[in-house]
Structure 1
Amino acid sequence: MNSEGPAGSGSDSPDGDATDGENGARTSAGDGDQDERPRKKQRSFWKELPILIGIALVLALLIKTFLVQAFSIPSDSMQNTLQEGDRVLVDKLTPWFGSEPERGEVVVFHDPAGWLDGEPTLEPNAVQRVLGWIGLMPSAEEKDLIKRVVGVAGDTVECKGTGPLRVNGKALNEPYVYPGNTPCTVDDTGGQFKVKVPEGKIWVMGDHRQNSLDSRYHQNDKNKGMVPVSQVVGRAIVVAWPPTRWSTLPVPDTFDQNLSAAAPGALGLAGAVPLVLWRRRRLLATESPRVSGTGTAG
């Protein structure tokens, strides 16, 4: 009986014993397979670093080319809005969608006709050249200027005496002009002017009116002091450096008023309407007695 016990136990659960054995064999076989698989070696950080740097440089270059670029302010011509040494970020995206500069915007533009001739330029070192090329710091080689847009295509901009500056006959209240400066300068080299801005051009002036060689003083160049819209890099949107100077650069409220010049066609129509009405009244007044007389005679 006792001897049958183990045999009985084996026959009562033969599958269990076999399964256990098989499971054990499978488990050990599985472990063996797992151990035999080649393990993936993790890539060394130093091998990945050049790839990461390359991706970062490509992204920085794309951002500089199509989105935003940093520029350094080299002079005091835009005080107090901008100080020498400020770093501004310039929006380069919107011009790609056909947006053109508007009155009141602070814009960066390429030297249109030798405005910077004779100005000293700093010679950048190799690192500055690379960082400037990818847009991580302002480029020292590009000859760019920064001014405020005062007139756009079709505008008549005028300065008489010390001001105020007038756009299409409307005087501007300019709180951004450097304290102690007058909106217009009394001199014979360009301070007194009256110009009409042609299509595809803008008229720009610095906020430090007595210390800015802007459109006023380049009226003898090939563009007559105007800046071609095609030379505009973009609009300065924020002072990013130093941190204590951080601020946005919105369009001043003075440009919210309707400064647009009336179109010649609209002016002609406005002048023609009263004339037509007067002529119509006169014809009716002349014909009325005839009608009355005819009616009475009838």
Structure 2
Amino acid sequence: MMSLRNLKQWLRKTKKNNQKHKKQETTEDTIVQILTDEEDFDDLRVKDLRQELRRVKYNQKFIGSLFNTIGTLIVAAALAIIISNVFMPVLQVTGNSMAPTLEEGEILLANKNAKFNTGDIIAFYYNNKILVKRVIATAGDWINISADGTVYVNDIEIDEPYLIDKALGDCNLDFPYQIPESKIFVMGDHRSVSLDSRNSNIGCISEEQIVGRVDLCIWPLSGVRKVN
């Protein structure tokens, strides 16, 4: 009587021969029918054979599904990286210079192609780092900051509802100060600690330094919101 071990060996040999000669793959029912025609093959062996064939078939489907899933994840990750680098850079807040608007550890999306106006929050390069600040004035504007931290642009006090308190902060500029051509004056919302355009070490930034306008906070999930 043919043992189950010999049966498995016979099945492997048959499969190799079919692949070699490009014959149509033998189905489960056909194999079982062929073997049940043998006089020395009992019902128990047929049952074992069916179980073995189903196990092999399941494993093949599982492996195929696994490879498809992995491939999909790789493509999705590649697309996410491309989108992040080309259109929507992902940034993480470090420090508290933009508190309370942005808190340390929050993750932001910046829009590279978006235009910005005064009052918008932007990300920009500075000394191989990316800083996040608020646009206060643009080229040609005159800015003045009083001793108590009140900001005037072109002799008009600007409304800043995003501030907790005002402060002159780390400032070494002589006021009134005119923003140079093609430059942008930025400040952090936490005026007493932020190092920004008020200090000549950073100064006004150029448009070439800008990474993008910060539009969304995407992490933590409890803090997902539009940034303004």
Report the TM-score when normalising by structure 1.
0.52
Displacement of 1:109 in angstroms is 0.6
In the alignment, which of 119, 122, 145 is matched to residue 131 of structure 2? 145
1:155 is aligned to 2:175: no
Separation in 2, partners of 1:61, 1:246: 21
Separation in 2, partners of 1:54, 1:235: 29
Separation in 1, partners of 2:161, 2:69: 51
1:238 is aligned to 2:216: yes
1:33 corresponds to: none
1:193 is aligned to 2:175: yes
5 Å matches for 1:1-298? 44-94=64-114, 99=115, 101-111=116-126, 114=127, 143-177=129-163, 179=164, 181-185=165-169, 189-190=171-172, 193-217=175-199, 219-220=200-201, 225-250=203-228
Comparing 64-73 and 101-110, the one that deviates more = 64-73
Amino acid at match of 1:245: G
Displacement of 1:168 in angstroms is 1.1
Q: Secondary structure at the match of 2:75?
A: helix
Equivalent pair of 1:184/1:192 in contact (CA under 8 Å): no
Question: Which structure dedicates a bigger proportion of its chain to helix?
Answer: 1
Which ranges in structure 2 are unaligned for 5 or more consecutive residues? 1-22, 27-59
Q: Tell me which structure has the larger Cα radius of gyration.
A: 1
In structure 2, the CA distance between the partners of 1:176 and 1:183, relative to structure 1 (3 Å rule), is farther
Which ranges in structure 1 are unaligned for 5 or more consecutive residues? 1-35, 115-141, 251-298
In structure 2, the CA distance between the partners of 1:220 and 1:92, relative to structure 1 (3 Å rule), is closer
Separation in 2, partners of 1:192, 1:48: 64
1:165-195: CA deviation from partner (whole Å, max 9, x where unpaired):
0111111121111x2x32534x7x4276332
Question: Which structure dedicates a bigger proportion of its chain to strand?
Answer: 2
| Fraction of identical pairs, as percent | 31
Separation in 2, partners of 1:165, 1:52: 52
* Cα RMSD for the two superposed structures: 2.5
1:28 corresponds to: none
In structure 2, the CA distance between the partners of 1:86 and 1:191, relative to structure 1 (3 Å rule), is farther
Displacement of 1:160 in angstroms is 2.3
Alignment coverage as a number of residue pairs: 172
Separation in 2, partners of 1:191, 1:162: 15
Separation in 1, partners of 2:173, 2:97: 15
Separation in 2, partners of 1:171, 1:143: 31
1:195-250: CA deviation from partner (whole Å, max 9, x where unpaired):
22223211100000001011111x156xxx01111111111112211122222123
Q: Secondary structure at the match of 1:213?
A: coil
Q: Secondary structure at the match of 2:222?
A: helix
In structure 2, the CA distance between the partners of 1:46 and 1:246, relative to structure 1 (3 Å rule), is closer
Q: Secondary structure at the match of 1:44?
A: helix
Q: Secondary structure at the match of 1:147?
A: strand
